[in-house]
Each structure stands twice: as C-alpha cells, then as structure tokens.
Amino acid sequence: MRETLSQGLPALGLGTDAVPALEAFSALLLERNQVMNLTAITEPRDVAALHLLDSLALVSLAGLERQSVVDVGTGAGFPGVPLAIAVPGLHVTLLDSLGKRVDFLQESCGALGLGNVRCVHGRAEEFALKHREGFDVAVSRAVAALPVLCELCLPMVKVGGRFLAMKSSHTEEEISQAKEGISLLGGRITAVKDYGIPTTDVTHRLIVVEKLSPTPRKYPRRFAQIKKQPLGT
Ligand code: SAM
C-alpha cells in the first residue's frame, strides 16, 4: 500500500504527507469490512490504487481547493474521505442512505481527527430538498446512471458550481441520454475527461457538469419517479 501511494500521489501532482492518514483509513476500512459489507476490493495495494488514487485524481482534474463538497452515495467514503484527508481546506459532507456505512464513516473520521467532514445518513433526493443549492461541488462515484444521478445531485449545487460524476470510460450512451435532463435541471456538460489511475492500467472518466441557472423547484422528484422515468429519456 505504502509503495503504491508513494508512487501514485506524485503522479497525481500531490505530495506524500497524506500517506499515513490514507493508510490508517484503509486499515479501518479493511478491518470493518470483515464484519460488514463495505468494499469488494480487499488487497491493500488495490485499495490504494482503485479507491484512494482514483478518488484523489479529482484534485488535479477538477481543482477543489477550499470548496464545500457533498459526496452523494459515498458508501465506504469514496471519493469523499481521501479528498478530505489530502485537501484539508475542503469541507466535505458524506451522504449515504445506508445507516451502517454512515456509522462506520462517523467512527473512522472521528478516529482520524478529520474536522472538515460531516457524515449524513439520508437519501439524496430528500437531502436535496433541504440543502438546495447549498454546495460548491457535488461529486458521486458508482451510484447510478447519469440521468438519475443528475437529478439527485444538481439541485444541491450552487449556481456557478459543479457536479462531478466519476464513471467508467464506457459512458457515451449515458451521456447522450442525460443531456436533455441536465439542461432542464439548469446545467450543462462542459468537460469529459478520461484519466489513468497511477500504478494501474485502468482508465476512468470524469464528467463535469456546470450549474448555469437555478434548478426548478419541482426537481428532484420522488425517487420512484426519477427511476421510472429519468429526466429527458
Ligand atoms: N461512492 C462509493 C464508491 O465509489 O465506492 C460507493 C458506491 S456504492 C456502489 C453506492 C452507494 O450509494 C451505496 O452505499 C448506497 O447506499 C448509496 N446510495 C444509493 N442511492 C442513494 C440515494 N438515493 N441517496 C443516498 N445514497 C444512495
């Protein structure tokens, strides 16, 4: 793990100061993973690359200094926890609908002394109603298809802010299906960036959606409706 992080962080333009805290978080994750389902990735080297370095690729791709970030469907804390560790000026809200995962995050962030993290147990479509246009950035990795995800995430983003969707590189169809809905929600896709995860041959994709105007108050709809008829499809 240490070797992967020590090679990978500089490749992402980051220093290695965060290595001990990233290792400590991974140890907590793998320990708790023995008794609850947090991740299917269990080799420390793979956790370092496919969870930690993948999450931290956002720093140089998106420039996140001093922003308020909500990580929607954070699961075991990706990408939000590595970002909070490596970019201390960020204010990160970790949001997930599974209470046990949020309990794990609460305990781990407490143990790591991460003062820039808030853990919230809740559903994105409900949280968005109370925190409309409340964040500079919403980010989400591996939660839902883009047309669904945009309706969950864009309402939380301030005008002038961004929604960052972390995806696999085979997402052309999702992107074209999401475009009309994104426009209804007040956004526009301004960049699609493929990136390699250092120390692997894996390529992932970041889709950047900028918020141009306020999201109409009728969005987000109830989850059953969002799922049944994703916007613009
Ligand atoms: N983002 C993490 C990652 O990349 O490892 C976790 C991905 S996991 C496959 C999807 C997570 O999204 C689950 O923890 C699930 O509970 C959460 N989730 C799904 N729908 C959600 C919703 N509507 N609101 C909040 N969390 C949600």
Statement: residue 232 has pLDDT above 90: no
Q: For residue 17, what are its two tokens?
A: 């100061």
In sequence order, the β-bridge partners of residue 204 are 168, 195
Statement: residue 130 has pLDDT above 90: yes
pLDDT at 134: 98
Residues 6 or more apart from 5 whose CB is under 8 A from it? 16, 19, 22, 23, 48, 52, 53
* C-alpha pair distances (Å), 125 with each of 128, 156, 201, 219, 225: 5, 9, 35, 9, 11
pLDDT at 193: 97
Statement: residue 99 has pLDDT above 90: yes
Instruction: Please identify, by atom number, the ligand 1 atom nearest to the C-alpha of residue 127.
Output: 24
Per-residue pLDDT, averaged over 210-232, amounts to: 96
205/218 Cα distance (integer angstroms) = 30
30/59 Cα distance (integer angstroms) = 24
Stated pTM of the model: 0.98
pLDDT at 116: 97
* Nearest CA, atom 13, ligand 1: 75
- What's the 227 CA to ligand 1 centre distance in angstroms? 15
- What's the 62 CA to ligand 1 centre distance in angstroms? 21
> Dihedrals φ, ψ of 84, to 5°?
-65, -35
Percent of all residues in the chain with a pLDDT value above 70, rounded to a whole number: 100
Q: For residue 8, what are its two tokens?
A: 């990978």
Is 193 strand, coil or helix?
strand
Statement: residue 73 has pLDDT above 90: yes
pLDDT one-digit tens code per residue, 161-196: 999 999 999 999 999 999 999 999 999 999 999 999
Instruction: Please identify, by atom number, the ligand 1 atom nearest to the C-alpha of residue 55.
Output: 4
- 96, 127, 166: which to mutate for ligand 1, most atoms within 8 A of CB? 96
State which H helix or E strand residue 85 sits in.
Answer: helix 80-86
Statement: residue 65 has pLDDT above 90: no
- What's the 80 CA to ligand 1 centre distance in angstroms? 12
> Dihedrals φ, ψ of 32, to 5°?
-70, -25
pLDDT one-digit tens code per residue, 16-40: 999 999 999 999 999 999 999 999 9
Per-residue pLDDT, averaged over 80-92, amounts to: 96
Sheet holding 68-72, edge to edge: 117-121, 91-96, 68-72, 135-141, 157-168, 203-211, 187-196
Residues with CB under 6 A from ligand 1: 73-76, 78, 95-98, 101, 123-125, 141-143, 152, 223
Statement: residue 88 has pLDDT above 90: no
